[in-house]
Structure formats: structure tokens, C-alpha cells
Structure 1
């Protein structure tokens, strides 16, 4: 079910929201991170860091997975060669996820919102490698996860600022400016962030 329609007690579930690390973030792995929340329920939450570049390029990943050989990787469409790849989080870093627009899906694609889907199978990687991928997409290796009530506690302790996500904020803009860019879209200066708590 799409996040906008779901609530948890008096607070909404935060699927299709960004988590923006506050300056007091204790876990250095998440310092200045922006996480796109793909799933959130009373059982826990799962999201992908979208502003930490991954050293492996998308063609390298395709070769490692055996989808292409090295010669084929050289002839990839431009969109596939330039597909952004991120460090999605500290959990299961060998596992890949594709966040993408709704225009192209495969059987295993799961809607996070009306416009953003999550696919974790090689079908989508093959489609992208053939130039038949979604209009907007990024890949992440690994993910961030929280157990029941853990994320709510971290937000309550001023660890994260939350705000609704949009495809534009998710897919567009320079990765090195994503943190400041999303805050700016909320009307928040990053240098003043410590004065804010909760959600925008």
C-alpha cells in the first residue's frame, strides 16, 4: 500500500520520505546522509542512502554479475554507462536495488509511491543495459535498516529531519549537493539545521 494512505497511531508511516541526518548524528556512517525510505511499518523500516557515491560504476556491476562481458560493457547506451550508483547503506552491501520512475517496471517492481518504484532483481538491470530502462533511475548497493520502533526513537531523539520525497529531489541534482539541496528545498539553511527538529 502506498505510504500516503497509511498511518501508525497518530503519526504517518514515512515511506516515500527523506530522512536527513541532523548535525548530532552519532553514527558516522550516516553523517550528512540523505536516506530515501522505501518501507516503514510497525515492524521496522528500510531505506537507501542517496548521496554517497559508490566507487563501482554501473558497467562494472553488470560485468561482475555476468550480465555482460567487458567488450559488451563498452558498447552500453549512454544512459546505462552514466546510471548513478550509490552506497545504499551498511547492510548487505553485495545486494543491489534500483529506484526508478514508474514508466518502466518488471514483475518484481514494487511501488513506493505513485511515481517511484523499487526493483531488486536483475531483470531491471538487463532492461537498463539494453537501453529500455526507466526515464529516471539510480542504483544502490546495500541498504539501511531499522527494527521495530528504532527509527521512531532516533527521530524523537532529533537524529533525523524528515520530509516528503519527490522524484525531482530524488533523481535530479548533483550528488555532492544533495544534502544542502534538499534542505534548501525545505527553506532550511544547513548551517542553521541544529535549530530544527522533527519533520518539515
Structure 2
């Protein structure tokens, strides 16, 4: 997609029904770190690597989840405990929009695998289907490892590789021979 917002993005679709669709971009980092986010919402990061996080969670970037509700946080995480506002997407991924999940992460008792974004991506009823029919999106089955385990720079190529092709094979040009 050549759209300046969605070009080169990987969107994890969290909900899709007759009313529309909602997803979170998982490969567009902002310049905000988790530490800065915690500071802005008055949380103290009390965890350290020995509590199970392989890297410093405070240094992780917060993602640009999409152009909708950019003032709101969306947390993708492994299911387990249900928070005030949790949607279980699959048996491997849940999405929470309430602050309580971040409070537990800051204390070291929250989910170990998380991705935090500001904003989300949304489509009205039939809009996403129309964009797919017009080749605006490639779709693949979601792989939680792409969301939680891969470096951000590798997520787009990994998602395209699920189609059995290289991202270098993609072009915005079309024509007839």
C-alpha cells in the first residue's frame, strides 16, 4: 500500500465483525520509550531483567498503532489474567486498553510478552473487505512470534514470508504485457 500511514506496515487484526475491524500496527515505533510512557502516566517501573524480561522493558519503544484514538493506549499481550478492558483475540494474544495491565507490568507481575501502542487502526463495516478486494492489503494468519519475539525491523519481511514470497518481490506497479 502506498498510503503514507499504512505503507510498509504490519497490522495485527484484533477484531473483525459486521460492524467493522480494529487492529494495531506492530512495526512502526514512535520515539517514546516504555519508561517515558510510564513516567507520563505516573507509574514507577519496578522490574528488572531477573524478573523474566530478557531486555529492559523501559527501553522498548511504544508503537504507533494507527491513526485512530492516538491518545489511547492499546496493549497486545499473552492471555492469562483478564484486566478491566481485555479482549481475548486468540489463545495466544489478548488486547487490553485499561491501565491496570501496565500497572502490573511496571510491578513485574504482568504478562511477560507485551507490545504497547498509542492509537489503533479502524475500518467501518465493509471498508477493510473493499480494500482487500482492491489489493490494498496482503493477509496472512497471525504469528504471535512476529508480534512479540522478532525485532521490529524484521516484522514486515517475516509477515510477507508467511505468504511464501520475499518482500522484494512486491511492487506498486502493474501493467499488461
User: Of residues 67, 74, 77 in structure 2, which corresponds to 1:97?
Assistant: 74
SS of residue in 2 equivalent to 1:162? coil
CA-CA distance at 1:76 after TM superposition: 4.2
Equivalence for 2:5: 29
Matched, 1:157 2:125: no
Q: CA RMSD in A?
A: 1.8
What are the ranges of 5 or more consecutive residues in structure 2 without an aligned counterpart? 173-177
Matched, 1:135 2:112: yes
TM-score calculated relative to the size of structure 1? 0.77
Deviation per residue, 1:140-177 (Å, 9 max, x gap): 10111111111001000000010110211221111012
Query: Where does 1:1-200 land on structure 2 (aligned, <5 Å)?
Result: 25-68=1-44, 73=45, 76-78=47-49, 79=53, 80-194=57-171
Contact map agreement 1:103 1:135 (CA 8 A) in 2: no
Deviation per residue, 1:46-84 (Å, 9 max, x gap): 11100001111111111111223xxxx4x5434432444
Contact map agreement 1:116 1:167 (CA 8 A) in 2: yes
Contact map agreement 1:77 1:130 (CA 8 A) in 2: no
Matched residue count: 166
CA-CA distance at 1:32 after TM superposition: 0.5
What are the ranges of 5 or more consecutive residues in structure 1 without an aligned counterpart? 1-24, 196-200
Equivalence for 2:175: none
Deviation per residue, 1:167-198 (Å, 9 max, x gap): 11221111012111221233211122349xxx
Cα distance between partner residues in 2 of 1:96 and 1:145: 14
